Amino acid sequence: MAKKPSIVVAGILDTKGNEIRFIADRVRAAGGIPVILEMSVGKEAGWADISVSEVVAKVGRTINEIFALERAKAAEVIIEGMIKVLSELRQQGKLDGIIAMAGSMGTSMATRAMQTLPIGLPKLMLSTMASGDVRPYVGTKDIGMLYPIAEGGLNVVTRKVLNNAAGAIVGMATIPEPKVVKKKPLIGCMMFGVTTPCVLRASKYFEDRGDYDVMINHAVGSGGRSMEELILDGYVVGMLDITTHEIADFLCGGILSAGPDRLTAAGRKGIPQVVSTGGLDMINFGPVDTVPDKYKEELHIPGRVIHVHNPMVTVVGTSVDEGYLIGKHIASKLNQASGPTALCVPLRGWGAYDTASRNPDLGWAEDSPAPFWVSDPEKPEWSLRAKRFVEALREVISRDKPNLDVLLVDQHMNEAEFADLMAELLDEMLAGTWKKGSHHNLPEIVPF
């Protein structure tokens, strides 16, 4: 008989006690062994399998001390203790999944503890906060969030939802492992819609050869952060960092920033990385009415355009001068790299919205320049934004580092040949045959 999974059922029992009991009962009915973990910040329930007294004792505190604190401060101590409890349960083989139900405070508490658990261990959060921005709760981990309709109360609606959730967590904890396949080294890759043709072709280069698996993360902030973490954790042996637009959001106030550490992990670990400028022509916002007035007042600035991608996403073109600032930022990051590093800059545009004229293969199908295109007056087929970016590179990047190269390419980001160039460079790095200056003899390479 298969081992029944041990499922931690967590919650603030002095306010959600009935709901947590119900979830635990339904976990048991679904074939799991529920372990109720208490996160109460005001009053101890007295019936949990792991009481809040036990939780805070893990960090040398008592409930009398904790309950004398303001709720937010008490929550911090409970989170710290909860993380230790979950770690111990894992080490003992007594944690096969975790489910929690809470309002805003409990959601913050439970998911912060969940974020310390490894990828692959089932995690499910029932929260009314699931109908809003869940980035702070999910972070970079595989946390499922389910909207429970109501914050509390057991009735004909919530019993059904909570029953489904209990079944889901037990199902996740008991599903058979997928068929064992040969473990291959992992290449990381970043993609956004405007760089899809380039990313798919470059990743296919490695997938067709069969020597590597490729993991493509969506460059939406969380995607970049999770990739940086995977690199630091040793999962990734090489980076096709084609799409770096999260840096534009970080520097220019967009909503898809991956934070200040984007483009640092590969350099710190010393793994090969081939980097490009995918999507750096844009800053991301939500519906058009969420775009800050600052940008609406700058439409006279070269490069500054507001484009409605869809009703929920509006993109703003980075200005030509912001291209310069982004170039300085990226150069400073890559200067710190300890492993083989190549920065490839396509001079004819950085994505589907940065295209000189109609070209469906590059992602722009209308009979006009794409919205973010700005021509260099001295060489109209090249991007003025790219020109300013390169000017910044020339000022900042370390030219004497033997492991760091810059290739200026007379192509568009989404041209097949550009994707092939990036893939070939990374392939040489992984094989240990790459040297600075590799591919500089190609006709499309412009002297740096």
- Chain segment 413-425, per-residue pLDDT in tens: 999 999 999 999 9
Judge contact between 375 and 363, C-beta under 8 A. no
CB atoms near residue 319 (< 10 Å): 21
Tell me if domain 6-174 and domain 186-446 are identical in fold.
Answer: yes
Secondary structure (3-state) at 221: coil
The two most distant CA atoms of the chain are separated, in Å, by 76
Is CATH 3.40.50.12030 correct for 186-446? yes
Distance CA 94, CA 327 (A): 49
Residue 217: CA count within 13 A, CB half-sphere = 30
Q: Is 149 left (phi over 0), alpha (psi -120 to 50) or beta?
A: left
Label the pairing between strands 186-191 and 236-243.
parallel
Q: Which amino acid is at 423?
A: A
* pLDDT of 374: 97
Task: Report the alpha-carbon angle 348-227-445, nearest 5.
Answer: 25
Give the chain's end-to-end CA distance (angstroms, integer): 66
Helix pair angle (13-29, 158-174), 10° resolution: 60
Which residues pair with residue 238 across a beta bridge? 187
Distance CA 228, CA 86 (A): 25
CATH superfamily name and code, 6-174: Uncharacterised protein family UPF0261, NN domain (3.40.50.12020)
* pLDDT of 1: 52
* pLDDT of 180: 66
* pLDDT of 177: 83
What token pair was written down for 212? 């590597």
Which residues pair with residue 395 across a beta bridge? none
**pTM for this structure?**
0.82
Domain segments of the chain as ranges: 6-174, 186-446
- Which residues in the chain land under pLDDT 70? 1-2, 180-181
**Pick from 167, 178, 118: nearest CA to 143:** 118
DSSP string of 153-171, one letter each residue: --STTHHHHHHHHHHHHHH
Judge contact between 410 and 347, C-beta under 8 A. yes
| pLDDT tens profile 310-331 | 888 999 999 999 999 999 999 9
